[in-house]
A and B are shown apart, each in its own frame.
Chain A
Amino acid sequence: MTNSEKPKLAMYWSASCGGCEISVLNIHEKILTVDEVFDVAFFPCIADFKVKDVEAYPDDHITVCLWNGAIRNSEGEEMAHLLRKKSQFMVAFGSCAYEGCIPALSNLTSKEATFDTVYKNNPTLDNPKGFIPTTSVQVPEGELTIPEFYNTVKSLDQVVDVDYYLPGCPPEPHQIWAVLQVIVGALLEGAPLPPKGSIVGVTNVAVCEECDLKKDEKTITRFYRPYEIVPEASVCLLEQGLMCMGPATRGGCGALCPEVGIGCRGCYGPMPGVEDQGGKMLSAIASVIGAGDETMEDDELEREIQAVVDTIADPAGTFYRFSMAHSLLQRAKVNGSNGKGEAA
């Protein structure tokens, strides 16, 4: 941290796995260029900073803040507000920040149920008194507080204004580098920046385009889970009944997963103009189900289709694996504590 004239970089993790930080470091020797160009202003993962350091910065002090992680609790929300205030560019970095990602799958259930699984009913637990976290607890030494755990996981932009989105779980290093180059170019050479709200580090075509597997018309009569079959190499996985989100997922990753025989999980999010990635994929998948035709009676028709649909394990979790928080419904309605059939 030398020249104070250098642009300032921050990276902060909220509800996430840490893979995003690793993938930043995964840009290899180019990290040196990053270091050359930027001063690191806040980056708890690699250096010791305190919140009060950030609070002390003037507004907009940080040039670029790479925020990774969803908003799971009050701490995440507070930090998001703080860093937004202190940063010129707020980047939702990675799928968690962009659309909730794996943490947001807990939106399919309630906070109570989550606590129950994590703190009470779990074979690996040793919590005989059934304690669960509370925001405040009195101990002889005084009051202890921890952040409040929210019922619903949110994406970053549901809490603060976001300038750019960089999808991926985690974003691919080459894409990170490309985006950093654009920002560096803008800062050093005054090159134009993409318009606010842009999704960067992606292509404008779905993953299938990048995927080299041979595609044909699709008629699926049974879906398989990955352990159930050994897919034929070089043939589109979806055609073989393996769930692949590639058709509904924005490209940019280079079709990493399908090309090694694992269906795309959908981490790069929806295509531009698609409101709800899960709904769109659902529609596509259902459309190519090879069951039911116009000569059938109503009952038979539904039954035949249902039989194929039933081979799809956890469709909501599959179609919304990464985009739950950003989807139209955002979360499930859970029969919760208030007894009115609403999520508590």
Chain B
Amino acid sequence: MTEQFEPVIVGFLCNWCSYRAADLAGTARIKYAPNLRSIRTMCTGRVDPQFILKALRDGADGVLVAGCHPGECHYVNGNIKATRRFVLLRKVLNQLGVEDERVQLLWASASEGIRLAEKVDEMTEALRALGPLNWEEKVLHRNNGHEAAEAIAVLEEV
């Protein structure tokens, strides 16, 4: 049996809805992929796109931002601002070659433990299919010293 790839997902969960949804998933003993590593923020409105970029750069294979449904944000509309940032970030990440599946936004209220768990499972599967992101090695080629060592295109004739 070949070992299956276990993606690392960083989750930014808002304190009032999605962090509690994750609490509820646990309390209800719903089993889901242990691949989500959660960070609590007071609101999805606190999630600076820099955090997402940082996570991708630092080895995460995916990032999940989860918060209250529109209209239910504890701070009225932090999640609306989060959505605006997410939509623009998605466009920038597209240009940077990061697949849409890797950075996702989810609304899960405190009672939607199942919804959160299902999303984590689904994302884990999607990332398995995509393979590791491993930005440092695969994109920046920092693994074996400098790019100077990289293969160089040879003379091509068309």
Which residues of A does B touch, CB under 8 Å?
Answer: 74, 77, 108, 111-112, 115, 120, 129-132, 134-135, 137, 148, 150-152, 274-276, 278-280, 282-283, 285-287, 289, 291-298, 301-302, 305-306, 309, 312, 314-317, 319, 327-335, 340-343
Decide: B152 and A309 in contact? CB cutoff 8 A.
Answer: no
Whole-angstrom distance between the alpha carbons of A282 and B90 in the complex? 11
Whole-angstrom distance between the alpha carbons of A275 and B52 in the complex? 12
Query: Is residue B73 within 8 Å, beta carbon to beta carbon, of the partner chain?
Result: yes
CB-defined A-B contacts under 8 Å, sample of 21: A111-B153, A129-B158, A134-B152, A135-B152, A276-B50, A279-B49, A279-B53, A282-B88, A282-B89, A286-B87, A293-B80, A309-B84, A309-B88, A316-B96, A317-B95, A329-B57, A330-B57, A331-B139, A333-B133, A333-B138, A341-B130
As a 0/1 sequence over residues 121 to 134 of chain B, the CB contacts with chain A under 8 angstroms (1 = contact) are 00000000011010
B88's partner among A294, A315, A327 (CB-CB below 8 A) is: A315
Decide: A305 and B87 in contact? CB cutoff 8 A.
Answer: yes
Which residues of B does A touch, CB under 8 Å?
Answer: 48-50, 52-54, 56-57, 69-71, 73, 76-77, 79-81, 83-89, 91-92, 95-98, 107, 130-131, 133, 135, 138-141, 146-148, 150, 152-158
Please judge, given known A-B contacts A316-B96, A333-B138, whether A286 and B48 are in contact too, CB under 8 Å: no
What distance in Å separates the Cβ of B69 from its nearest Cβ neighbour in chain A? Answer: 8
B156's partner among A132, A276, A291 (CB-CB below 8 A) is: A132
What distance in Å separates the Cβ of B73 from its nearest Cβ neighbour in chain A? Answer: 7
What distance in Å separates the Cβ of A190 from its nearest Cβ neighbour in chain B? Answer: 39
Decide: B77 and A298 in contact? CB cutoff 8 A.
Answer: no
